[in-house]
Amino acid sequence: MVRVRPNAGTVTRFGFAVGKAVGGAVVRNRVKRRLRAIARGVVPRPGLDIVVGARKPAADATYGELERAFVSLMRRAEALQATAAGAARETD
């Protein structure tokens, strides 16, 4: 799940929410680490606050599956830079 809202600045900020339904502390932290790594690899539009919420299937997903889902959700939310969105399509 991805929620996107404009903020008053020019910096895009990410927040990650992984609840207990996903798993124990070790599993939740692994999912958050993977999501943060994926977020570092995308180029979002400036001036957004983006909250990423992980659902239970994220616990069993591979890094590649999480990455594909993350990029897909960011595209649907129109939160990626135009050049990054085109580059991400080329890698699919």
The CATH number of whichever domain residue 44 belongs to comes to 3.30.230.10
85 within a domain of the structure (yes/no):
no
Q: Say how far apart CA 28 and CA 80 lie, in whole Å.
A: 25
Mean pLDDT of 32-47: 96
3-27 per-position pLDDT tens digit: 999 999 999 999 999 999 999 999 9
Q: Say how far apart CA 2 and CA 54 lie, in whole Å.
A: 9
Beta partners for 13? 49
Q: pTM for the full model?
A: 0.84
Amino acid 52: pLDDT: 96
Give the Cβ contact number of residue 52 at 10 Å.
23
92 within a domain of the structure (yes/no):
no
91 within a domain of the structure (yes/no):
no
Number of domains making up the chain: 1
Contact 38, 44 (CB under 8 A): no
Mean pLDDT of 64-91: 81
Give the Cβ contact number of residue 17 at 10 Å.
14
Tell me which residue range forms the domain holding 56.
2-80
Amino acid 66: pLDDT: 97
